[in-house]
Amino acid sequence: MLNETHNPSLQSWVPSANLPDADFPLQNLPFAVFRRAGSAEAWRIGIAIGDQVLDLTHALCVDGLPGIKDPALLDACRQNALDDLMALGSAATSALRLALSRALRQGSAAQAVLADTLIAQGAVEYALPARIGDYTDFYTSIHHATHVGALFRPDNPLLPNYKWLPIGYHGRASSIGVSGQRFARPCGQTLPPGATQPVFGPARRMDYELELGILIGAGNTAGERIALDAADQHVFGLCLLNDWSARDLQAWEYQPLGPFLAKNFATTISPWVVTLEALAPFRQPWTRPAGDPQPLAYLDTPAHRQSGALDIELEVAIRTAAMHEAGLPPQRLGQSSFAQAYWSMAQMVAHHTVNGCNLQPGDLLGSGTQSGALAHEAGSLLELTHGGKQPVTLANGEQRTFLEDGDEVILRGRCHAPGAVSIGFGACCGTVLPALG
C-alpha cells in the first residue's frame, strides 16, 4: 500500500508543511473545494499543504503539474466539486497525488510557477467537497452502542443483530454542511417524563456525535456487490463528521423505524478529504474477540484481517458563547480512536452493497459515533453525562448536560505510526443557534 509519497524523509518547499505538528505535511495532500473568503469567485478544487491551499486549476494553467496528461483527469481537476475526480477511481487519485508530491517537494523545479498558486488557508472559505447524493450513517462503535443501549434498555443494551452486521440508517443529504455550519436548534415533538401525550417545541437535549465520514469514489452498478477486499478501490477518502442529534426528539420518534427529525436538520463535515492512500501508513490488523461471533464470509477475509483497521485518533471539544467572549480556548470533552470500531470501513461498504445497492461517486457514509470503553472516550454528551444525569463542569465554571445555544463544537482527527509522518484532518466546527420562531 505504501509508495514514494509516504516517504517520511520528504519535505516541502512550503515551510509550514514541515512543522512537526502540521496537519497537512507533504505526506498528506488532502482535497477540498474553496474560494477566497467573501469573494464571488468560482468554487474550485484545492490541495492543503502546510497552512496554504494550492489552487489546482491555477496550477494546471501554469503547467505546474507536467506529469498529469490524461484528459479525463485534467478535466476532473478543473471542476467545482470532487465528484468527477472521485468517479475516476483510486488509480487516478494516486497519479494526481504523486504529481502533487513531486511538485511540492524541496528542490522541485515547479516551485517557481506554483508559488503564486498558493493561498493562505486563513483567507479562504469552503464549500462541500462533493455533491452528496446519498448519506448513510452506521453504528460501528460497540462501546457507543452498549453505553447508549444501557440508558434505554438496561436489561438488554446490545441488540442481538449488532455483532452480526454493520447497522445503519439512511440519513438526509440536503442538510449536510461544511465546517463552520451554524444551524437553528430544531423543533419537534417530545414526550415529557410522566406525560401521556407529546408536546411541540425546541429540542432541549441537543447533542453532538464524534464520527468519521467516508466519501465514495468509483461506484458500483446496481445489482452488483462490492467485495470486501475490493472496497478500498471504491473509497476516495475520509473526513470528520458531526451527526448532530436531538436526543429528546429521538427518544419519542425512533421506534419502530429509527431516526428521523432528531437527526435530519444538520450534519457537519470537515472541508478537507484525506485520501485513502494518504492513510496507508496507519493501517492496522482488524480483529474480533474470540468469544464473539465471527463475521459471515462476505465480511471476513485474510487480507482484511491483516490490515482492515485504520488508527485515526479523534477528539471533540466545546467552546461556549461565554468562553468565546472571554477569549478562552475550546475545552476537550472526549477522545477515541477509529481503530476501536467493531466494524471497519471496508465492511460498511461491502455490507451496503451486498443486496445490490449501487453506491455513487460522492455518496457519504458515516461511521457512527466513535467511543471507547473509558469515560473520557465518550463520543457524545449522552454518554459523557449518563443521559443528562451527571453534568460536565467546564474550566470556566459553566456546566453542560446537553448543548446550549451559542455552543460551538470542534472535532479533530490525527494519525500517528512508527516510522511515518503524522497527518491530520483539520477541524470540523459547528454552532447551535436559537430555535426559529
Give 170-227 pLDDT, tens digit per residue.
999 999 999 999 999 999 999 999 999 999 999 999 999 999 999 999 999 999 999 9
What is the spatial distance between Cα 347 and Cα 226, in angstroms, rounded to a whole number? 10
> Is 254 within any annotated ligand binding site?
yes
> Is 369 within any annotated ligand binding site?
yes
Mean pLDDT over residues 284-293, rounded?
Answer: 96
Are the C-beta atoms of 211 and 366 separated by less than 8 Å?
yes
Q: How confident is the model at residue 160, as a pLDDT?
A: 92
Read off the pLDDT of residues 39-88 as tens digits, 9 standing for 90 and up. 999 999 999 999 999 999 999 999 999 999 999 999 999 999 999 999 99
Q: How confident is the model at residue 361, as a pLDDT?
A: 98
> Is 125 within any annotated ligand binding site?
no
Residues annotated as part of the active site: 144
Mean pLDDT over residues 148-170, rounded?
Answer: 91
Residue extents of the structural domains in the chain: 4-127, 135-433
Instruction: Specify the length of the chain in residues.
Output: 437
Exposure string of 49-81, with b = 16+ CB inside 10 Å and e = fewer, is bbbbbbbbebbbeeebbeebeeeebeebbebeb
What is the spatial distance between Cα 215 and Cα 176, in angstroms, rounded to a whole number? 13
> Is 137 within any annotated ligand binding site?
yes
CA angle 261, 179, 239 (to 5 degrees): 90
What is the spatial distance between Cα 31 and Cα 102, in angstroms, rounded to a whole number? 16
> Is 139 within any annotated ligand binding site?
yes
> Is 75 within any annotated ligand binding site?
no
Query: Global pTM?
Result: 0.97
Mean pLDDT over residues 371-396, rounded?
Answer: 96
**Average pLDDT taken over every residue of the chain:** 97
Q: Which of 27-41, 101-115, 248-262, 412-426 has the lowest mean pLDDT?
A: 248-262
Is pLDDT of 437 > 90? no
What is the spatial distance between Cα 215 and Cα 201, in angstroms, rounded to a whole number? 34
Is pLDDT of 154 > 90? no
Structural class in CATH, domain 4-127: mainly beta
Task: Please choose, from the candidates 253, 218, 252, 221, the residue with its C-alpha nearest in 3D space to the C-alpha of residue 232.
Answer: 218
Q: How confident is the model at residue 153, as a pLDDT?
A: 83
How much of the chain, in percent, has pLDDT values that exceed 70?
Answer: 100
> Is 301 within any annotated ligand binding site?
no
Is pLDDT of 31 > 90? yes
Q: How confident is the model at residue 346, as a pLDDT?
A: 98
Q: pLDDT confidence of 24, banded at 50, 70, 90?
A: very high
* CATH placement of domain 135-433: 3.90.850.10
